[in-house]
A and B are shown apart, each in its own frame.
Chain A
Amino acid sequence: MRGLVPLMLLPCALAMAAPPSPSASEHLTEVALSGAVTSSRFTVTTMDYTVPEVQLVRDDGRRVSLPRELDDGRAVVLNFIFTSCSSICPLSSQTLAQFQRDLGAERDQVHLVSISIDPEQDTPARLREYAKKFGAGRGWQHYTGSLEASLAAQRAFDADRGAKMSHSPVILLRGADDRHWRRIDGFITPDELLGEYRKLPARH
């Protein structure tokens, strides 16, 4: 609670996502207090995540293995959503949708992965409806599963905030043959996301 106080007093523009480390947090607060605005919308950090063997249910109803879904030869753009979310998730999904359209001919080389953090509510049918609403093209799948499986996936990417309503905007990127993830905390525009994608190594 105490940690939130300085942020609450900041103007809205500076409301930030939970940063990945304490040092980054201090940095962000400093930036925020100094009045920098647009550049503090998001941070990008390189992370080394190990994806555990987690069984999820894809939006077509099939049970799949998360690591196998991620290691299919394509680059990966991953986020966490829930379909009842009316604030952050729609923005994140809209960003991914525009990003996917902007990929143009490269579209089939990128796998967009959206994992529900409210899996008991988000049945495959609900996820399909959500995907359709955002115009998700081929190559963008939504995933649900048991509560435990969703939590395991969130923990693997340090995206578990204890409850779905406490979530923060995170997008994760990884090149096709890369081991490292680029973690984007905060609000990124589709253009900026495309820029981050183009910076990935080993792009085909």
Chain B
Amino acid sequence: MWTAALLAVLLSAPALPHAPDTGTGESIYRSGIGSSGVAITGSRDSSAAVAGADAACANCHRRSGLGQLEGRISIPPISGPYLFHPRAKEGDDLDLPFVESMRPDREPYTEASLAQTIRSGVGPDGRVLSYLMPRYAIGDEDMASLIEYLKGMTPSSVPGVTASVLHFATIITPDADPVRRRATLSVLEQYFTDKNAFARAASERLRSSHRMMFKANRHWMLHVWELSGAPDTWEQQLQLDLRREPVLAVISGAGGSNWSPVHRFCEHASLPCLFPNVELPVVDDRDFYSMYFSRGVLLEADLIAHQLSADREGRSAAQRVVELYRHGDVGAAAAAQLAAAFPDDAYTVLRRPVDGNPGRAGVAAALRDVRPQDIVVLWLRPSDLTELARVPVRARTVYMSALMGGLERTTLPQAWRPVTRMAYPFDLPAGRRIRMDYPLGWFSMRGIAVVDEQVQADTYLACGLLAETLSHMSDSFIRDYLLERLEGMLEHRVITGYYPHLSLAPGQRFASKGGYLVSFDGGQGPGIRAASEWITP
């Protein structure tokens, strides 16, 4: 049995993160680049050839090597065990992680027949491979490297997975807001408790097949990794945590102004990091292991830039944009991103750091020379926004960050509200009301105090997405495959909390792409209304 073998491995050796081969085989597989940096080429009948990145195996068979179902097109797993296993009538008969697109009932490849098939597109049994699969021109040496890589692809042990328990971690940075930290942990801990209560109740009856057994029986265990000290020590702390407590993935978590060390750690450790509660995620197209609900304050900056660009059309005189932020807070990066959107003379963007402790007139000082025709952008926290009550409203147009300012519960003084539009990277309260019945009902029934509704809703959503994805994975708990399945599953999700819809794809790591600009209702309550359509900048 796969699990028995797995258990044996786990007991006999310390579980370490799967360290991928960095050799030629991996480079061919992932990037289509062979030895000495030469692009691999392939062709399909009369179509033009594909080369390099466009010819990489991972494009279709995925980084995990476990293939995929794309509509009704079934792309088989091609990691070694799936190619070389003895013929079997059904996938369940093999000691291999089950994947839908596997083809158990086929004569095993040999290294020679596999090489021949990759080159000719004809299998050893005479069957012609799909038109989708290019016929590759790969030399003997590169072919040997590639096959060697395929053989080692599916890890024989998966850290954090035992016969009865799936281990997960959540990461809290020391600069995380205490309320957000509490909000995150309250939901996570309850979710894991609930999950395990259900697993126990259902265990025996569902032992009907290979697949069902693992779905029903594994308990979830949460490890809370609380970081301390300076950010440049976090990655080392996390490496120790992971060695001590091997986990399959990192789920949710709470960050402050600097999440980058955690993001980098997950990338280096090949560890999925799923939907942490952070306002400033790391945006890097090359990265694979971290998924976020949105680009956070960077998305807010783009929403504002989008509006400023639209307003700009047809106007001649350059306007000033005065951005207020605090050094060391996430607003600094957002302010920089907004400024970078106008490299030409369309707007003159002035970035003004607010000095001193909140309440010490720093905000007033930063706004001293603002004129009516200027645009003010507030990347400020509630404590600074409160101070605006003592500052006259001179600008006719003000933008603010919802994430930093507290969404519709912001402390922005009444006098400022008529001229202010808030970048709002969520669905409107009325739009999400029905979707939010689920988490709010769940919080209420379990006695979880709602201290930060959005953070708690996101945490609950992250847990739900993890559970749903794992249920699609049968017993194939492989880290890369977890991310790939999430990519495919997310769009089908109907209950998406604060977001109108979520969607990912290969290379996409931010599930919600847009937001609104909202204005405040006239009344005293927390009412907001859309001041734009849904914008996906």
Q: How far is the CB of A194 from chain B (nearest CB, A)?
A: 10
**A109 at the B interface (CB under 8 A):** no
Cβ B72 vs Cβ A4 within 8 A: yes
Docked complex Cα distance between A162 and B501 (Å): 13
- B131, B506, B536, B537: which contacts A41 (Cβ < 8 A)? B131
Q: Are B100 and A191 in contact (CB under 8 A)?
A: no
- What chain B residues lie within 8 Å of A146 (beta carbons)? 534
Is A18 part of the contact surface with B, judged by Cβ < 8 Å? yes
Residues of B within 8 A of A95 (CB): 47
User: With A91-B44, A191-B46 in contact, is A123–B71 under 8 Å at CB?
Assistant: no
Q: Answer yes or no: B393 CB below 8 A from chain A CBs.
A: no
With A12-B129, A13-B130, A190-B47 in contact, is A118–B72 under 8 Å at CB? no
Say yes or no: is A37 at the interface (Cβ < 8 Å to chain B).
yes
Cβ of B284: which chain A residues have Cβ within 8 Å of it? none
Asked if A84 is an interface residue, CB under 8 A from chain B, the answer is yes
CB pair B72 A84 closer than 8 Å:
no
Interface secondary structure of A, over-half rule = loop
User: At the interface, yes or no: A8 with Cβ under 8 Å from chain B?
Assistant: yes
- The docked-state distance in angstroms from the alpha carbon of A191 to that of B45 is 10
Question: What are the residues of chain A within 8 A of B507 when measuring CB–CB?
Answer: 84, 86
Contact B73 A97 (CB under 8 A): no
Mark A10-53 against chain B: 1 for CB-CB distance below 8 A, else 0: 01111111100000000000000000011001000000000000
Q: Which residues of A contact B58 (CB under 8 A)?
A: 86
Stretch at the interface among A65-73, A163-171, A173-181, A196-204: A163-171
Interface string of B73-96 (1 = CB under 8 A from A): 111100000000000000000000
Given the complex of chains A and B, what is the CA–CA distance between A14 and B45 in angstroms?
16
Q: Is residue A54 contacting chain B, with contact meaning CB distance below 8 A?
A: no
Q: Which residues of B contact A97 (CB under 8 A)?
A: 48
Whether the pair A87, B60 counts as a contact (CB closer than 8 A) is: yes
Contact A9 B105 (CB under 8 A): yes
Pick from A8, A120, A169, A191: contact of B514, CB below 8 A. Answer: A120
Residue of B nearest to A95 (CB): B47
B70 CB to closest chain A CB, in angstroms?
6
Q: Are B508 and A120 in contact (CB under 8 A)?
A: no
Residue pairs across A and B with Cβ atoms less than 8 A apart, 14 shown, are: A9-B105, A12-B75, A15-B74, A84-B505, A84-B508, A87-B60, A88-B73, A94-B48, A97-B48, A118-B503, A121-B508, A121-B513, A168-B70, A189-B45
Q: Can you name 4 extra interface pairs (CB under 8 A) apart from A118-B503, A168-B73, A189-B46? A: A11-B129, A87-B70, A90-B59, A163-B503
Instruction: List residues of B whose CB falls within 8 A of some A CB.
Output: 44-48, 50, 54, 58-60, 68-76, 100-101, 103, 105-106, 123, 125, 127-133, 487-488, 491-492, 501, 503, 505-508, 513-514, 534, 536-537
What 10 pairs across the A-B complex have the smallest Cβ distances? A84-B505, A86-B59, A168-B71, A163-B491, A12-B130, A120-B513, A11-B127, A187-B131, A120-B536, A87-B60
Binding site for B on A (CB under 8 A): 4, 7-9, 11-18, 37-38, 41, 82, 84-88, 90-91, 94-95, 97-98, 118-121, 123, 146-147, 161-169, 187, 189-191
